[in-house]
Amino acid sequence: MDDSHLPGIYHDAEKASAHGQRRTLRLSRVRLLGAVLAAVGGAFKWKIGGGVDFWAWVALAGFLVALFSEFLLWAMHPELKWNAGRAVAERVKSLAWRYAVAGDPFPSDAPHARRELEVRIDEIVTEHSKKLLLTSVNPAGDQVMAELRAKSFTERRDAYREHRVHGQLSWYRDRAERNEKRASLWRFLLFGGEFVAIVLAILRINGVWDVDLSGVMAAAVAGGAAWIGLRQYENLNLAYLAAASELAQIYRQLPFTAESDWATTVAEAEAVISKEHSAWLASRPSTT
């Protein structure tokens, strides 16, 4: 069982989240670049034909770009769809895996497990119906989940260990490494930008030139800091490292899990994954 077999609602939420993320990052990037462009325009003067100041128009264009991007972020709320989409996708994914391997709250002896799964998914859809279009179904995936649920305990345990726990563990480990590298790169760039700004300010004090390039560098550094705040590289690195460490321990212990403890063990593993998602959402704007 893999992501292609998850309920259609999961795929709707994943698409909405990815679209919201792309739009949020694109508009935020344009807004920050507009602010830097405005700073560049404010640092220079060049009157064309003795009248129109070209760089004043550049500054105006930068401010207009930043303002328009800010307006679109406010009017379209793409970050809310990004956050809400991920919340729905992860909750549905967790429920689907719990059901497929007979974990809590869908143990193997539950009389109406399938109906209970649909009830819980419907509750999630109702909660987010004003922000996301969640209508798709996945009959082929439903069949795969049902087949996995009908298999022996050993087969369900091995499938969960390799395809859910190990898959999520690998994802966290890879993302932790990626965010650590990006955090280091951006911190290096910010330190470099601040150093250049100091040098430019000293040169201006000593009369080497009268162009306020330090202001441009200050705007660029502020933009870089805002970008780091949006992407949260360092926080994500720490959260992913913690989740990967806990899942690695669960992965090692799963082969020794008794069938009588299985439903609870699955719930504990899903709680580790849910904890990372909850921490991520708590650091974002409200999804309600």
| Tens digit of each residue's pLDDT (9 = 90 or more) over 95-150 | 999 999 999 999 998 889 999 999 999 999 999 988 899 999 999 999 999 999 99
Count of alpha carbons within 13 angstroms of residue 74, beta-carbon side: 7
- Residue type (1 letter), 107: P
Distances (CA, A) of 62 to 34, 56, 190, 212: 4, 10, 21, 17
Task: Name which of 19, 10, 274 is nearest 1 in CA terms.
Answer: 10
Torsional class of 50: left (φ above 0), alpha (ψ -120 to 50), beta (otherwise):
left
Can you tell me the distance from the alpha carbon of 98 to that of 167, in angstroms, rounded to the nearest whole number?
Answer: 15
How many domains does the chain fold into?
Answer: 1
Does residue 40 register a pLDDT over 90?
no
Q: Is residue 147 part of a domain?
A: yes
Predicted local confidence at residue 287, as pLDDT: 42
Are 83 and 23 in contact, with CB atoms under 8 Å apart? no
DSSP conformational letter for 129: T
Per-residue pLDDT reduced to its tens digit, 196-243: 888 877 877 887 766 667 778 878 888 888 888 888 888 888 889 999
Residue located via tokens 């809310």: 80
Report the predicted TM-score, pTM, of the whole model to 2 decimal places: 0.85
Q: Up-side HSE of residue 211: CA atoms within 13 Å toward CB?
A: 12
Find out whether 85 and 18 touch, Cβ atoms under 8 Å: yes
167 falls within a domain: yes
**Domain-embedded: residue 101:** yes
Select from 118, 131, 138 the least CA-distant residue to 85.
131
Provide the 10 A C-beta neighbour count for residue 25.
Answer: 16
249 located within any domain: yes
In a domain, 96, yes or no: yes
Rg of the chain in Å (alpha carbons): 25
The overall average pLDDT reported for the chain is 89
Instruction: Tell me if 288 is assigned to some domain.
Output: no
* 287 part of a folded domain: no
* Residue 269 confidence (pLDDT) above 50: yes
Residue 228: the pLDDT is 84
User: Could you give the 3-state DSSP secondary structure of residue 52?
Assistant: strand
pLDDT at 203: 79
Query: How many Å apart are CA 156 and CA 115, to the nearest integer?
Result: 20
For residues 1 and 287, the model is more confident at: 1
Tokens in use for 238? Answer: 């720490």
Buried b (16+ CB within 10 A) or exposed e, 130-140: ebbebeeebee
Structure tokens at 81: 């769809």
**At residue 192, does pLDDT exceed 80?**
yes
Domain membership flag for residue 181: yes
Band the pLDDT of 8: cuts 50, 70, 90. Answer: very high
Closest CA to 88 of 164, 7, 24, 9: 9
The whole domain housing 168 covers 3-282
Q: CA-CA distance, 148 to 150, in Å (whole number)?
A: 5
Higher pLDDT, 216 or 27: 27
Residue 285 reports pLDDT greater than 60: no
How far apart (Å, rounded) are the C-alpha atoms in residues 288 and 130? 9
Q: Report percent pLDDT > 90 for the chain.
A: 61
Share of the chain above pLDDT 70, in %: 95
DSSP 48: E
Phi, psi of 179 (to 5 degrees): -70, -35
What confidence score (pLDDT) does residue 288 get?
42
Residue 50: predicted pLDDT: 66
